Structure 1
């Protein structure tokens, strides 16, 4: 009986693993801005005006200190004309505002930005 439970658990886990895919979106930082309230917004590649985080409060599951580092990373990429990459965990594999609407928190983002060479 215990062996059957393990098989079922593995099958359930595998079905979730198959349905959730990771992908990345890479592009130049077209815009990086911070609002008077501390919300950081950006345009990267084909994603325009997405909200990343806030330097003043937890926003989009990002702590303010992490947001300050994200803002600095984005600013460094913009000033050096380097591309950045973000990683996502959904099934869309879409690096446009269709999957990541403008004027809204960036969805399914789990890692980055990282500056590319």
Structure 2
């Protein structure tokens, strides 16, 4: 019975490590919309470079166009007011360009952006 509990505990810990949560935060610079696709891209959000976030004209990865327009508005407010934003992630990556390659869809993102005072 003790071995079974040990194995279950190890499996539980491994599953938490495989989907670790982290945040990325920083100033917003260079917010844009790709004209042909409606994709929202940002030159920089803190350490993230040119992440592709969502689509203003259609759903992508469960993010509706309406939600995307709200994300765009929040990022625009942050850029104009020079405030930082925070984004929450839940995958096995981090905020580096190696984890989130420029021009690619942002993976693991599940919450935010939130304006930081």
TM-score range, shorter chain: 0.7 to 0.9
Matched, 1:87 2:97: no
| Cα separation, 2, equivalents of 1:100 and 1:18 | 19
**Contiguous gaps of at least 5 residues in structure 1:** 1-6
Kept in 2, the 8 Å contact 1:46–1:95? The answer is yes
Kept in 2, the 8 Å contact 1:60–1:105? The answer is no
Q: 1:96 to 1:18 in 2, by over 3 A?
A: closer
Matched, 1:107 2:81: no
| Cα separation, 1, equivalents of 2:54 and 2:111 | 13
**TM-score, L = length of structure 2:** 0.84
Residue 114 of structure 1 deviates from its aligned partner by: 0.5
**TM-score, L = length of structure 1:** 0.84
Matched, 1:19 2:18: yes
**Contiguous gaps of at least 5 residues in structure 2:** none
- Equivalent residue, structure 2, for 1:4: none
List 4+ stretches of structure 1 deviating above 3 A.
10-15
- Equivalent residue, structure 1, for 2:31: 32
- Matched residue of 2:92: which SS? coil
Residue 38 of structure 1 deviates from its aligned partner by: 1.3
Residue 13 of structure 1 deviates from its aligned partner by: 4.4
